[in-house]
């Protein structure tokens, strides 16, 4: 899909600028774009590295397990099929907790492990209710500190980069609530 989107953006931009006589702008845009891209990477790289380092300390310090213990009762309700399965419960809650703390590097392997454990009881190529619920939890952004956005805001001259955080929490919670409710409603289908 990205092949078509990326190619489409470039081809259509060239055609449009040709039709409207703005070819010079496209030539400049290519050079500006490449420069902007590196500036964007340079602007975010330092803080992303620092945050990854801090989160590694947090993870090893047991923060993920702690969060996982706090959320365990909720997860047992969301995944009734696996409420008795300790391995699945722990992989699921570790994955969600890692996501919550913004530990992308740690979250994905834990999530894949949870999917593998859940698929052991499944003999078809169709997702189970619990799998759907788990993937929906992962497609909803449940990050406590929106680091990337905050860094980019501060680099773009924002006077209050973290000022969006309460809104982000509200919106994530609303999105998550809709996702979970719909998933539960569709389960019997």
Could you say which residues in the range 145-164 bind another protein, by CB under 8 A? 145-146, 148-149, 152-153, 156-164
Segment 104 to 123, residues that bind another protein, using CB under 8 A: 104-105, 108, 111-112, 115-116, 118-119
CB of 27 to another protein, least distance (A): 10
- The verdict on 167 binding another protein (CB under 8 A) reads yes
- The verdict on 70 binding another protein (CB under 8 A) reads no
CB of 81 to another protein, least distance (A): 15
- The verdict on 57 binding another protein (CB under 8 A) reads yes
| Token pair recorded at residue 103 | 């530990």
- The verdict on 85 binding another protein (CB under 8 A) reads no
Distance CA 150, CA 156 (A): 10
Choosing from 51, 76, 83, 87, the residue that interacts with another protein (CB under 8 A) is 51
Within a 13 Å sphere around the CA of 172, how many CA atoms are in the beta-carbon half? 18
CB of 41 to another protein, least distance (A): 6
- Determine the Cα angle at 98 with ends 126 and 103, to 5°: 115
Distance CA 100, CA 103 (A): 8
User: Distances in Å between the alpha carbon of 4 and those of 7, 8, 9, 92?
Assistant: 5, 6, 8, 34
- Contact (Cβ atoms closer than 8 angstroms) between residue 95 and residue 138: yes
Q: Which is nearer to another protein, 84 or 124 (CB)?
A: 124
What mask, x for binding another protein by CB under 8 A, covers residues 12 to 41? Answer: xxx-xx--x-x--xx-xxx-xxx-xxx-xx
- The verdict on 74 binding another protein (CB under 8 A) reads no
Distance CA 138, CA 99 (A): 8
Q: How many residues does the chain have?
A: 189
Sign of CA dihedral 25, 26, 27, 28: positive
- The verdict on 45 binding another protein (CB under 8 A) reads yes
Under rule CB under 8 A, how many of the chain's residues touch another protein?
Answer: 100
Segment 169 to 188, residues that bind another protein, using CB under 8 A: 170-172, 174-179, 182-183, 186
Q: Give the CA radius of gyration of the chain.
A: 21
């Amino acid at each position: 899909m990205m092949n078509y989107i990326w190619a489409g953006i470039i081809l259509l931009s060239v055609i449009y600028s040709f039709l409207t006589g703005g070819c010079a702008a496209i030539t400049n845009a290519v050079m500006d774009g490449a420069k902007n891209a590196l500036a964007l990477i340079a602007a975010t790289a330092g803080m992303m590295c620092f945050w990854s380092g801090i989160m590694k300390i947090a993870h090893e310090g047991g923060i993920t397990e702690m969060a996982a213990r706090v959320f365990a009762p909720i997860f047992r309700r969301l995944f009734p099929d696996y409420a008795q399965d300790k391995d699945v419960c722990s992989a699921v809650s570790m994955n969600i907790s890692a996501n919550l703390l913004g530990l992308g590097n740690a979250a994905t392997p834990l999530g894949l492990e949870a999917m593998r454990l859940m698929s052991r009881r499944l003999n078809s190529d169709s997702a189970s209710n619990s799998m759907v619920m788990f993937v929906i939890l992962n497609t909803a952004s449940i990050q406590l500190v929106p680091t990337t956005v905050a860094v980019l805001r501060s680099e773009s001259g924002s006077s209050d980069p973290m000022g969006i955080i309460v809104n982000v929490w509200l919106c994530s919670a609303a999105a998550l609530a809709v996702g979970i409710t719909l998933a539960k409603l569709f389960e019997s289908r």
